[in-house]
Amino acid sequence: MRPGRSLRPHVKAFKSTELARHLAGRGNHQAFCCATMREMEGMADAGLGDDLLLANETLAADRLGNLVAAGTGRITVAVDSDETVAVAVAAARRGPLAVLIDVNVGLPRCGCRPDDAGRLAVRARAAGLEVRGVMGYEGHVVGNPDRTWRIEQMSDSMSMLRVAHDAVGGDVISAGGTGTYDLHDWATEVQAGSYLLMDTAYQQLGLPFRQALFVEATIISVHGDEWAVADAGLKSFGMDHGAPTVLDRELFFSSDEHTTFGFADSPAPAVGDRVRMVPAHVDPTVAYHERMLVVSDGDVVDEWRVDLRNW
Amino acid sequence: MRPGRSLRPHVKAFKSTELARHLAGRGNHQAFCCATMREMEGMADAGLGDDLLLANETLAADRLGNLVAAGTGRITVAVDSDETVAVAVAAARRGPLAVLIDVNVGLPRCGCRPDDAGRLAVRARAAGLEVRGVMGYEGHVVGNPDRTWRIEQMSDSMSMLRVAHDAVGGDVISAGGTGTYDLHDWATEVQAGSYLLMDTAYQQLGLPFRQALFVEATIISVHGDEWAVADAGLKSFGMDHGAPTVLDRELFFSSDEHTTFGFADSPAPAVGDRVRMVPAHVDPTVAYHERMLVVSDGDVVDEWRVDLRNW
């Protein structure tokens, strides 16, 4: 499987309708997936709602109902329990809504047991919902640098998803992420987002995606040959996967609005110089920023608002 | 020293003019400090600019000039180099601007060497700037749970700041944070912010400040007696000091929009229940949110926008 129609870009990784519009134009993507209702609503409002999947559970029946009532395109939502099926049923009174049965394939998070998927599908169909198929996110697999391990674990996960799909039916088998995008041979679509901007965690996997996102900061203080301080810190970087990397320099530490770094055998910078940093985890990094500057050959050629932040 | 006139609340910890207005009204605080130009501009625009200190270095001469030109109140900025003095001089052409000489007192971040402070003060005064005094942030001390160690280290830091103040002069000696607020006997003002909302890192210090900030999330998926999933994750919590705490439950892990937790001998929750979480670090947690709900006796009585995010 290669990106194309079988790739459903995940909006959670970049939270920007302007970047999504770029994907729609350059990549001919009309189908996107989202993690929050705000992402769903924002994509629909921006005219990018041809085929939106909320790849997450929600209890926001009113907001989901408003979305389907607006008639902006095909809306599908993941369900994994009687309660989330009931939410979908309530929303579907306002307009057409389809569901995927979300199946736990090894990551202890959302998703029903594989042997409960058929029951939920019956329940959903009995209530009048269209059940398009199944979804199973092998989130415990996608980030591991060992490709052989990823292949084995993904095979186990897809075996679980097959059990569920046998009971549920439907045309859609939605799975995967950036770390398994080229390993799937059975899923009908891959949910990937990090591949677009990348981070140092995914860089370790040796994937054919270049780092596209940098936080560029200004050096505001230089201390002889010992260290310098840039004006971007813990409020600029998702830190759960570790600290950012300062290009060509040696990170000391980040605090709220600062990053202190050593010079790693390079000449000391000057106050006012700029420095580039790469986040360890792209999604919660982008969520701190209100805009991304698009740089081509050193020039800022566009600005994309991060307009889908918050919930 | 006790809070009162000698406390200069640090806006970086809450980034909200509405919370600052609450402090101005209830705490009679007219003097605040900020970490970013956006915080400075937002406080001034909101009518809270009587006495604002940018406790950080900036190269944004234009924005600083616009701020002093607006004439909203007393503006002071930290400087630690010839370059940042030059920025202050440029901005001061547009309106009255004072500076503090920022001194490195042991944290490898901004601040000049103590023995360079006098030279910078002479340079600043020769250029026509008012030099109000010195600033030294013992950021390497404030978070350590060992009070005796904090006292010793702070004493060392203040010895460095005394050297600088002897050379600089001026009425202002600005230092400290939540972890050292009651240890200072020489500084004229303490910069503290975390005390207002608190986090689990500062809780370990046994300070007389209650946890006031919680992230309340909805449980969207429950898995028998094993785990449940709440809809707040890495985009809701600053993670540099560690993972959030799920009250009365056992945290498994957080991912972008989810937190999975076990039940810690309590009954399993239901889908739709709410759960409260406490961040490990308050400042980068608040910076992810667009508003805070003010809860009194279980009722939402007000909403404070986090309007000073970004830069």
A9-47 pLDDT, tens digit per residue, is 999 999 999 999 999 999 889 999 999 999 999 999 999
Which residues 2-41 in chain A show a CB within 8 A of chain B? 12, 35-36
Token pair 């049965």 is found at A101
Q: What is the chain B residue with the closest CA to A254?
A: B240
Within chain B, strands assigned E span 7-9, 31-34, 51-54, 74-79, 98-102, 130-136, 172-175, 189-192, 215-223, 227-230, 245-246, 250-255, 258-262, 274-278, 291-296, 299-305
pLDDT at B235: 98
Once rounded to an integer, what is the mean pLDDT over residues B1-6? Answer: 57
Q: Is the pLDDT of residue B5 over 70?
A: no
**How far apart are the two ends of chain B, measured CA to CA in Å?**
32
Within A245-307, strands assigned E span 245-246, 250-255, 258-262, 274-278, 291-296, 299-305
> B277 phi and psi, to 5 degrees?
-125, 150
- pLDDT per residue as tens digits for the range A89-113: 999 999 999 999 999 999 999 999 9
> What mean pLDDT is reported for chain B?
96
Which residues 48-67 in chain B show a CB within 8 A of chain A? 56-59
Which residues 100-119 in chain A show a CB within 8 A of chain B? 104, 108-111
Q: Is the pLDDT of residue B33 over 60?
A: yes
- Domains of chain B by range and CATH? 7-194 (3.20.20.10), 215-305 (2.40.37.20)
List the Cα angle B90/B92/B98 in 5-degree steps: 125
- The band of B27, judged by pLDDT with boundaries at 50, 70 and 90, is confident
| Closest CB from B59, B283, B290 relative to A256 | B283
**Per-residue pLDDT tens digits of chain A, which is 311 residues long:** 444 569 999 999 999 999 999 999 998 899 999 999 999 999 999 999 999 999 999 999 999 999 999 999 999 999 999 999 999 999 999 999 999 999 999 999 999 999 999 999 999 999 999 999 999 999 999 999 999 999 999 999 999 999 999 999 999 999 999 999 999 999 999 999 999 999 999 999 999 999 999 999 999 999 999 999 999 999 999 999 999 999 999 999 999 999 999 998 899 999 999 999 999 999 999 999 999 999 999 999 999 999 999 99
CA nearest to A196, candidates A186, A188, A207, A205: A207
CA nearest to A15, candidates A215, A217, A233, A289: A289
- pLDDT per residue as tens digits for the range B43-52: 999 999 999 9
Residues B4 and B115: their CA atoms lie apart, in Å, by 32
- Mutation to test the A interface, candidates B271, B286, B290, B308, most A Cβ within 10 Å: B271
- The band of B4, judged by pLDDT with boundaries at 50, 70 and 90, is low
Give the ipTM: 0.96
Does the pTM surpass 0.95? The reply is: yes
Torsion of CA A260, B127, B188, B213, to 10 degrees: -40
- Mutation to test the A interface, candidates B239, B256, B291, B309, most A Cβ within 10 Å: B256
What three-state secondary structure class fits B172?
strand
Q: Is the pLDDT of residue B2 over 70?
A: no
